[in-house]
Amino acid sequence: MQGQILIVSGPSGSGKSTLLNRLLKEERDLCFSISSTTRAIRDGEKEGVDYYFISEDEFKKGIENGEFLEWAQVHKNFYGTSLKPVLAALNDGKIVIFDIDVQGFHIALEKFKSYITSIFITTTNKKELKKRLQNRGTDNAETIENRLMNAVGEMEHILEYDYFLINDDIEKSYRGLKSVVHAMRLKSANINLRQTVDSWIDC
């Protein structure tokens, strides 16, 4: 398999989707791994674009059938990455992006370590994270508290990631994320050695 995986983790509300949506619009060859989730759809989200929104029963069936590369319970809901489309994209030489939590990152590392580049994205501080979650207006006070508590635990794992980004100035953060993707494209492991050397000699 010639492709690669970019894992993006970080507290909910830190700006991962905002940055990734822009990246995916501009870099059309990237492939976003659409997760399945049991959480309710938010205003502005689209089925089959942001997530596949499924019931808990369907999710559990998916687990039994071995359909997930990884799955985890986050903020009382289930989230999982489908194995089949990821394998197809990797076989196709694509860079596949996972927006997943720390638990999912650990499982993915066990199975696909040599394919993975990872980045942890967060805010300047917890107060800013709370402000963003409140401004986003998609979660009630209890859910926000739950997400903030979870964020504190996730921050302890920063050093396990290849890259670390504080998403303060959005333009600066976007440039940072884009640089990581560009560096991935330059990885020597990503080239077909025979083809590269032969065509270099022939010209």
Measured CA to CA, the distance from residue 12 to residue 152 in angstroms comes to: 11
- At 139, list the tokens: 């979660």
Selected from 63, 152, 170, 197, the binder of ligand ADP by CB under 6 A is 170
Sign of CA dihedral 185, 188, 190, 196: positive
Which of 182, 168, 133 lies closest to 23 in space, CA to CA?
Answer: 182
DSSP conformational letter for 47: B
From the list ligand 5GP, ligand ADP, none, partner contacted by residue 170 (C-beta under 5 to 8 A by kind): ligand ADP
What residues between 91 and 130 interact with ligand 5GP by CB under 6 A? 99-101, 103-104
Selected from 35, 38, 123, 173, the binder of ligand 5GP by CB under 6 A is 35
Smallest gap from residue 50 Cβ to ligand 5GP (A)? 8
Would strands 163-166 and 116-122 be described as parallel, antiparallel, or unpaired?
Answer: parallel
Measured CA to CA, the distance from residue 15 to residue 169 in angstroms comes to: 11
* CB distance 108 to 5 below 8 Å: yes
From the list ligand ADP, ligand 5GP, none, partner contacted by residue 74 (C-beta under 5 to 8 A by kind): ligand 5GP
Smallest gap from residue 116 Cβ to ligand 5GP (A)? 14
Selected from 4, 38, 81, 122, the binder of ligand 5GP by CB under 6 A is 81
Smallest gap from residue 111 Cβ to ligand ADP (A)? 24
Q: In DSSP terms, which residues pair with 193 in a beta bridge?
A: none
Residues near ligand 5GP (CB under 6 A) are 9, 12, 35, 39, 70, 72, 74-75, 79-81, 99-101, 103-104
